[in-house]
Amino acid sequence: MHTPHHTARVRVAGPVAEAKRLCGRLTRGGVNAAADDGVARAEVFVAIGLTDLQSVRARAGCLCVVGRPGAPLFAAGADDVVPPGEPEILFRRVRALIERIDLVTKIERLNVRAAAIESGLADAAHDLRSPMQTVIGNTQLLARDEKLSAMHRQMAAAAARQAERAVKLSETILDAARSRDKQPVNAHSLDLGQLVEEAAQRAQALGDAHGVSVTATLPVRSVEFRADEELLSRLLDNLITNAVFASPRGAVVEVSAWRASPRLVRLGVKDSGQGIAPAELPRLAAGLGPGRGLRISRDIAERHGGDMWAESTPGAGTRFIVELPLAPPSLRPRVLLVSDDNRWLREVARTLREDCDVRSTTLSSARLGRRPTDLVLVEAPPRGHARLLAALRAEAQGAQVPVIELPSDLAAARLAKLVHLAV
């Protein structure tokens, strides 16, 4: 039966026959799927045989690409890559992505409900303190009143002690509520490979004590991103410690990191244990299992605007994956303006400076250099001067930084909107 396009959770972009075949299989498996129409968005996109992923990437919640080799596809924006000729693997990956989306949605709803309950409990604890202090004061007076019998004074003293316990309990509830208030992430520039390498080195002493090796697999090229080093180190320490304890003597724990897309990086920690049962895996990855380590790790990932999940094969170990944006969402985008027109630079900078960190340069000096940059805006150069931007474009392409050429008369309001869409 044909699935209406507006209900499709999965879109398939590629050769018509292959797209229809996969859509039919997914729909029969309970996942609403439709062929790509070139404009619609979907929670999951599957791209088959495409060389340009940009138009699909912009409309996909998650992008799964069929092709090889994987590295350039990940660099082009893929969230997952499946080798050609493996329909069973592709079907399982798509189902897993849908299940993960459903689980995250459910967790978000539960978190909202839990936050409301915690807030109500904290309010009740706060309001309880004043009347309980009155009870304590009055019962302490009664406990010292010589007009009362000894038994009555003892009963008053006991009441005062119980009231003091209630106040201490309310203080504990309030302290817990305050500790859950999220402070701003103290983000600064970090090297992804160095972060992972240092975490593996810190964990090796623990690994030696348990007869386990801890290795680091670093990105092929240096990747710079912005995050809270202390928090991410704590996240990695938690995941690596769990992996060491889960692995038998003589095993290897692999800590890895890579650039997942133009805007995302990933950290991975894989153990060599017995694996986790499929029914238990989503709960653990969501931080709902026993122990605080995974809950803390998920919290740190989410505070950075990221996510955490796990993959496990019975008898072959478990890998926890943390996905993070190149910068926490609360940070201002960093924009490089390029033009030989000083007036244009001043007007554009004035338009953007309220929401962005802005720096400017001339056409002949235009380079990213070592300065972190999220977006490059270039005033359309005069004819014959476009070659001056060749080095900048090559450098930006390697760093996966968008370069947008703007007409000189672009209205300021439209420009501000464009920047927010781009970054």
83: which 2 tokens?
Answer: 């080798």
- Residue 2: the pLDDT is 42
**Is the pLDDT score of 250 beyond 80?**
yes
What's the pTM value of the predicted model, to 2 decimals?
0.46
Geometric angle at alpha carbon 208, from 207 and 210, rounded to 5° = 65
- Residue 408: the pLDDT is 65
Domain match, 130 and 202 both: no
**Is the pLDDT score of 411 beyond 60?**
no
CATH code of the domain containing 405: 3.40.50.2300
Residue 187's pLDDT band (boundaries 50, 70, 90)?
confident
Domain match, 200 and 228 both: yes
**Is the pLDDT score of 193 beyond 60?**
yes
Tell me the average pLDDT across 39-65: 85
Domain match, 275 and 243 both: yes
CA 422 to chain centre: 19
Query: For residue 193, is it within any domain?
Result: yes
Query: For residue 146, is it within any domain?
Result: yes
Please give the tally of structural domains in the chain. 4
CATH code of the domain containing 216: 3.30.565.10
CA pair distance 339, 385, nearest whole angstrom: 11
Query: For residue 316, is it within any domain?
Result: yes
Domain match, 346 and 406 both: yes
Domain match, 121 and 173 both: yes
Domain match, 234 and 360 both: no
- Residue 418: the pLDDT is 53
Domain match, 132 and 60 both: no
Query: For residue 99, is it within any domain?
Result: no
Domain match, 192 and 277 both: yes
Q: At what angle do helices 87-143 and 16-28 cross, to 10 degrees?
A: 50
Tell me the average pLDDT across 337-360: 78
CATH code of the domain containing 12: 3.40.50.10490
- Residue 391: the pLDDT is 77
Domain endpoint, select from 180, 205, 240: 180
- Residue 421: the pLDDT is 46
Which of the residue ranges 44-58, 64-78, 191-205, 404-418 has the most confident prediction, judged by mean pLDDT?
A: 191-205
**Is the pLDDT score of 98 beyond 70?**
yes
Query: For residue 92, is it within any domain?
Result: no
- Residue 37: the pLDDT is 87
Tell me the average pLDDT across 48-62: 82
CB 352 within 8 A of CB 416: yes
Query: For residue 91, is it within any domain?
Result: no
- What is the amino acid identity at position 247? S
Which residue range forms the structural domain that includes residue 403?
Answer: 334-422
Domain endpoint, select from 148, 180, 212: 180
Q: What is the pLDDT of residues 121-169, one digit of tens each?
A: 777 776 676 678 778 888 988 999 989 999 999 999 999 888 888 878 8
Tell me the average pLDDT across 274-282: 81
Cβ burial of 80 (10 Å; 0-12, 13-18, 19+) is: buried
Q: What is the pLDDT of residues 279-310, one digit of tens each?
A: 787 777 766 666 567 887 888 888 888 888 88
Query: For residue 241, is it within any domain?
Result: yes
Domain match, 170 and 215 both: no
Domain match, 194 and 314 both: yes
Domain match, 308 and 357 both: no
CB 312 within 8 A of CB 281: yes
Query: For residue 107, is it within any domain?
Result: no
- Residue 80: the pLDDT is 86
By C-alpha distance, which of 270, 316, 302, 308 is closest to 289?
308
- Residue 227: the pLDDT is 92
Tokens 């026993």, residue located: 290
CA pair distance 33, 98, nearest whole angstrom: 11
Cβ neighbors of 126 (< 8 A, separation 6 or more) are: 170, 174
* Count of positions (residues) in the chain: 423
Residue 3's pLDDT band (boundaries 50, 70, 90)?
very low
Domain match, 214 and 123 both: no
